[in-house]
Amino acid sequence: MNNRPADLSSAIPALVSPPALSAPRPSGESPPIKLGILASGTGSNFVAIADAIAHQQLAAQIQLVIYNNPDAPVAKRAHERGIAAHLVNHRNFSQREVFDQQVADLLQAAEVEWVIMVGWMRRVTQVLIDVFPDRMINIHPSLLPSFPGIRAVEQALAHTVKISGCTVHLVRLEVDSGPILIQAAVPVYPEDTAASLHARIQAQEHQIIVQAITEIGQN
């Protein structure tokens, strides 16, 4: 007999709570919002954004992908889509502020309007925040404010929570502390491992990151 509870993922709605982001764009048809993507790993959320743009489901364009790990698969995924990808290896910088200034310079040169952090495993400094105030968002694999920081999925399992999820939020200096834009809940099953739970959370991440950018573009 299967004791797993009914799959609640379709029954639990995304929880939307957008703060005031910025001054609204002029009325009429707005140009595509110009995005800069920061990623450290596989880039599955980058792919979700790029595919939504390609299928005309998202009025945006990706100006540049910046990655900090030389072997990050996101670079190949960007190149396959004809999107510029630039390595800024954090190991070559003795100070976080100098690293962030290099990142900021590249984003500004690419005329980026909004910075989207998808699996960006670096703590930002005030240097980067000051260049893009209230124009940086991050996606995190938990229902913040629960389980900020690294290994959020493992933290959720260790605390035996019944519902986990993911959050898109504005970036602030303190890790995973910014105003919440949108969240999606994901049930946790008794047999879940970090890999199985993370896979279901990622499926929701791919949806809410696109939704968050859509709402940004409408303001």
Active site residues: 140
d(CA 127, CA 214): 27
Token duo for residue 105: 């310079």
* Residue 156 DSSP code: H
d(CA 49, CA 69): 20
Cα 130 to chain centroid distance, Å, stands at 19
CA atoms within 13 A on the CB side of 189: 18
Q: Going by C-beta distance under 8 Å and a sequence separation of 6 or more, which residues neighbour residue 135?
A: 22, 113, 114, 115
Token pair 């990050």: residue: 72
Other Cβ atoms within 10 Å of 217 Cβ, number: 18
